[in-house]
Amino acid sequence: MHISKPKSPLEQLRPVLNLLADGEVHSGESLGAALGVSRAAVWKQLQKLTHYGLVLESVKGRGYRLPGGLNLLSSDAVEAGLDAAARDLLRQLIVCDEVDSTNAQLLTRLERDDGHGVAMLAERQTAGRGRRGRSWISPFSAGINLSIGWQFSGGVQLLEGLSLAVGVALARALEEFGVPDVRLKWPNDVWCRGRKLAGVLLELSGDLTDRCGVVVGIGLNVGLRGDSAAAIDQPWIDLHSVRPGIDRNRLAAAMLNRLLPLLRSYTEPGPERGFSAYRDAWLALDQFAGRPVRLQSASREWCGTAAGVDSSGALILDMDGERKLFHGGEVSLREDGE
């Protein structure tokens, strides 16, 4: 006997969301008829939408609409945008309405030896993660929350500089859609016009000296709504404010088209292996190049001039003529005076 999982509250709202996604006015009656429920039941569902940060407009005497509509994710639409190389490398694409964290889900899959080549996209994360216990704010349909699982042999040192290379791949994907002023901030941010547009979170599993797995997680803001964004404690930006109208499914596909081959070339022997193939591109996009910066770790801070990254992706700081290298994600970078 097949017992299906009970639907989450958000999944229960999917049918009404699908109807309202066109941004047009729908009467309570027509919604009720399409959904096969009473008008009172429709009203109850509509009230729940606000819980997910969606702004429902009531148009007097005519019905309801979601101004601007919704550009919902669909696995078919993402798959349609994949090129041959990405199709070849992608073993499974999962598109879901709501999860705790796409990275957490894929880590579990990797631990079960079932996460390689799996990509997961979620409309909403209830516990989206940043680095070192921080959170990633990911309200319903407001961005791209994407994780990819990848398994490989040869130990974790092969991944040196990977978060920077992922940044380069994201910048290239954004350029395809004409997004202007994209820059990278060491070690894992994509910025636009001096504010954070996207973040990258790498998480590891398995035997770090041999056969191991990495989850590449990316959160990118497409259209953040005011209320939910209030919790972000640093300057942020979304694509709507710089280049409105980008289709999330096409953008997600463009990201996969670049990230899947990147993961293969990074972890398999060949001329493209490792960060050196991406270094020049990273330097050309460096948000802080030549600027005075402050670098903080849990216990110390350093001041100097940002002088790019070396061939392993380590940050170079110029401090009174002396160059010092900084590795890993233990530090954060701020402009002086911030």
- Which residue of the set 131, 243, 250, 264 is catalytic? 131
196 flagged as catalytic: yes
Residue 208 in contact with residue 32, Cβ under 8 Å?
no
Q: What are the residue ranges of helices labelled H in 14-116?
A: 14-20, 28-35, 39-49, 75-80, 84-89, 102-111
Q: How far apart are CA 306 and CA 292, in angstroms?
A: 6
Comparing CB distances to ligand BT5, the nearer of 233 and 320 is: 233
Of the residues 14, 48, 65, 131, which one makes contact with ligand BT5 according to CB under 6 A: 131
Residue from the set 63, 128, 161, 223 that interacts with ligand BT5 by CB under 6 A = 128
Other CB atoms within a 10 A radius of the CB of residue 53 amount to 17
Q: Provide φ and ψ at 328, rounded to 5°.
A: 70, 180
Instruction: Please report how close the Cβ of residue 263 comes to ligand BT5 at its closest, in angstroms.
Output: 15
Cβ-proximal residues to 325 (8 Å cutoff; 6+ apart), any chain: 310, 314, 315, 316, 317
Cβ 88 to ligand BT5, closest distance in Å? Answer: 23
Residues 87-116 that bind ligand BT5 (CB under 6 A): 101-103
HSE, CB side, 13 Å, CA atoms: give it for residue 29: 2
Distances (CA, A) of 252 to 190, 194, 204, 291: 15, 23, 23, 33
Residues whose CB falls within 8 Å of the CB of residue 119, separated by 6 or more in sequence, listed in order: 90, 92, 93, 94, 146, 147, 148, 149, 256, 260
Q: Which of 65, 172, 273, 334 is catalytic?
A: 334
> Minimum distance between the CB of residue 130 and ligand BT5, rounded to whole angstroms?
3
Task: Please confirm, yes or no, whether 334 is among the known catalytic residues.
Answer: yes
188 lies in the binding site for ligand BT5 (CB under 6 A): yes
Q: Give the residue, chosen from 70, 78, 97, 125, that forms a contact with ligand BT5 under the rule CB under 6 A.
A: 125
The single residue of 48, 196, 243, 250 carrying the catalytic annotation is 196
Identify any residues that bridge with 195 across adjacent strands, giving them in sequence order. 192
For ligand BT5, which is the closer residue by CB, 51 or 134? 134
**Interface region with ligand BT5, contact rule CB under 6 A, candidates 43-51, 108-116, 140-148, 248-256:** 140-148
Cross-strand pairs, 323 = 318
Q: C-beta of 335: minimal distance to ligand BT5 in Å?
A: 15
Interacting positions 193-252 with ligand BT5 (CB under 6 A): 196, 199-201, 217-219, 221, 232-234, 236
Distance (Å, rounded) from C-alpha 232 to C-alpha 249?
25
Report the candidate in 229, 226, 232, 234 with the shortest Cα–Cα distance to residue 195.
Answer: 234
* Minimum separation from the CB atom of position 216 to ligand BT5 (A): 9
Question: In the annotation, is 131 catalytic?
Answer: yes
**What are the Cα distances from residue 261, in Å, to 44, 150, 256?**
46, 11, 8
Is 102 known to sit in a ligand binding site?
yes
Closest residue to ligand BT5: CB criterion: 199
Residues that bind ligand BT5 (CB under 6 A): 101-103, 125, 128-131, 134, 136-138, 145-147, 188, 196, 199-201, 217-219, 221, 232-234, 236
Binding residues: 101-103, 125, 129-131, 196
Which residues does the annotation mark as catalytic?
131, 196, 334
Known binding positions for biotin: 101-103, 125, 129-131, 196
